[in-house]
Amino acid sequence: MAKKEAYDERLLTGEQSNAKIDTSIADIPLEGSRHMQPPIKMLFGVKGSPWLLLLLFGFLFVNIMMLAITVLLLNGIGVWGNNEPTGWGFGIINFVWWIGIGHAGTLISAILLLLRQQWRNSINRFAEAMTIFAVMCAGLFPLLHTGRPWVAYWLFPYPNILSLWPQFRSPLIWDVFAVSTYFTVSLLFWYVGLIPDFATLRDRAKKRITQVIYGVLSWGWRGSSKHWYRYMHASIILAGLSTPLVLSVHSIVSFDFSMAIVPGWNVTIFPPYFVAGAVYAGFAMVILFAIPLRKWYKLEEYITMKHLDWCAKVMLATGMIVAYGYGMEWFYGWYSGVPFERSLLYNRLHLFDAPYSAIYYLLVVCNIAIPQLLWSSKIRHNLKWLMGISFSISVGMWLERFVIIPMSLMRDYLPSSWGYFSPTIWDYSLFFGTIGFFVFLLMLFIRYLPMINIFEIKELAHHTEHEAHKEGAVAH
C-alpha cells in the first residue's frame, strides 16, 4: 500500500520536468494513438484503439440522432410518446439530465479555482469540455419539444413591428436565458484556459498546417508578464461569473416544475435538491470517463487516485443531500395530509398497484443504496467498483427525472384524466443519439486538444518541488 501511495504522489514531488509533462500531455493531440496502450480487438477480430472504437460508436449514434430529428420535424412531436395528461416526456427528462451532467465541470473549473484547490488541475479541462458538450445535447430537447424549432427566435426579445414579446413569466423563457448564459460563460472560460496550452502545441507542432491552426487559436501568446496578468484577471472574472451559474441554472430548471400546481412538484425544496443532484450526476460522469482515459493514455501520474478519491467524496456528500431530498418527499407527502400528495406517494411506493413504481425502487437503489459503498476507502480506491458506482448514479439520476416528470403527470387530480406514458422508438433513438453525440464530441476533443491543463500541471510540479526543497533545507 505504501508503494502504491508513493506512486500516486509522484506528480506532487516535482520529479517531472517540463519536457516530460509536454511529452505526456501535449503530444497526445499532436501524435494521437502513439501515446495509447496497445490496440484492442474490436468487431470481427479487427484491432483498433479504444478511442477509435468510441469514435465510431459515437458517429453511429449521431446518425441515429439525425434520423430521429428528421422524422420528428417531418411528422411533429406526435412521434414521441407524449400524450394527455403526460405532456412532458423524454424531451424534458433528457433536458434536465444533460444539464445536470454539465454542472461538475463548472464546479471544478470555477468554484474550486476561487477556493484555490489545486487538485482540480488534472481534471478541470475535460470536465469543462463535458460541460460544453452536455449543454449542447441538453439544448436540443426543449428546442425540438416546442414542435416548431424554426421559430425559436420568438423566445428572445428581438425588436419587431408586431410587438411579439416573449412571456417572461414562463419558465421556458427562464430556461432560455439561463442555459444560453451558462453555455456562453462556460465556453469562454474553457477557451481562455486553453490559450496557453494552444501556444505549447503551436511550439511543439512539426507540421506547418498544425502550427498555423494552433497559432491562430493561441492569439499570439508568448507567455509574457502582460499576457499572464491579463489571463489571470480574465480567469478570475469568468470564474466569478460561473460560480453563481452553478447554483442558478439548475435552480431555474427546477422552477419548470415547482412553479406548476402539480402533486409532487409544487414544493420549495426543488432548487437545492436539483442543484445537488446535478453535481452528483456530473461528478459521476467525470469519474466514468476519467478512469478509462487515464489508463488508455498512461496518465496515472497526473490523474492520481487522490483525484478520484476526492471526486468520490464529493459524490458521497451530494448523494446524501439527494437522499435527504427523497426523505423530504416522503415526509411532506405524508405530513401534508393532502390526499393528492399522499396518492402520489402511494403510486411511487406500492410496487404492484401503480405504473412504473418499480422504477422508483430502482432509482433508490442506484442513487442511495449503492453509493453508500463510498464510505469505504477501499471501495473509493478500487477503480472497478468506483466506475460501477458512477455508472449506477448516472442511470439512477436519469430514472429520477423519469419519476419526477411522467409519473407525476400520469395521475394528478382527476382520476377521469389519468393516463399512461409509453415512450416510442423515436424517444429512445433521440436519447441514445445524444449520448453518441456527446461521446463523439468528447473523442474529438481528446484527439485534437490537451485533455489536461499543461501549464497548471507544470506550475503545480514546480511549486511542490520548491516546497520540498524548503522542507529539506529546514530539516538540514
Name the pLDDT band for 411 (thresholds 50, 70, 90): confident
Mean pLDDT of 277-292: 88
- Report DSSP state, residue 37: P
Residue 473 has pLDDT above 60, yes or no: no
Q: What is the pLDDT of residues 216-242, one digit of tens each?
A: 888 888 878 888 888 888 888 888 888
Q: What's the pLDDT score for residue 56?
A: 87
Q: What's the pLDDT score for residue 9?
A: 44
Residue 166 has pLDDT above 80, yes or no: no
Residue 22 has pLDDT above 50, yes or no: yes
Mean pLDDT of 264-270: 85
Among 119-128, 209-218, 398-407, 415-424, whose mean pLDDT is lowest? 119-128
Write out the three cell numbers for 421.
406514458
Sequence length of the chain is: 476
3 state DSSP class of 100: helix
State how far the Cα of 150 lies from the Cα of 72, in Å rounded to an integer. Answer: 13
Element holding 20 (H helix, E strand): helix 18-21
Q: What is the pLDDT of residues 335-349, one digit of tens each?
A: 888 888 888 888 888
Q: What is the DSSP string of 234-291?
A: HHHHHHHHHHHHHHHHHHHHHHHHHTS--TTTS-TTHHHHHHHHHHHHHHHHHHHHHH
Question: In this predicted model, which residue has the larger pLDDT, 282 or 6?
Answer: 282
Contacts of 278 (CB under 8 A, 6+ apart): 99, 100, 101, 102, 103, 250
Q: What pTM value is reported for the model?
A: 0.85
Closest CA to 296 of 4, 21, 51, 25: 51
Name the pLDDT band for 36 (thresholds 50, 70, 90): low
Among 57-66, 353-362, 420-429, 437-446, whose mean pLDDT is lowest? 353-362
Determine contact, residues 348/363, Cβ cutoff 8 Å: no
Q: What's the pLDDT score for residue 241?
A: 83
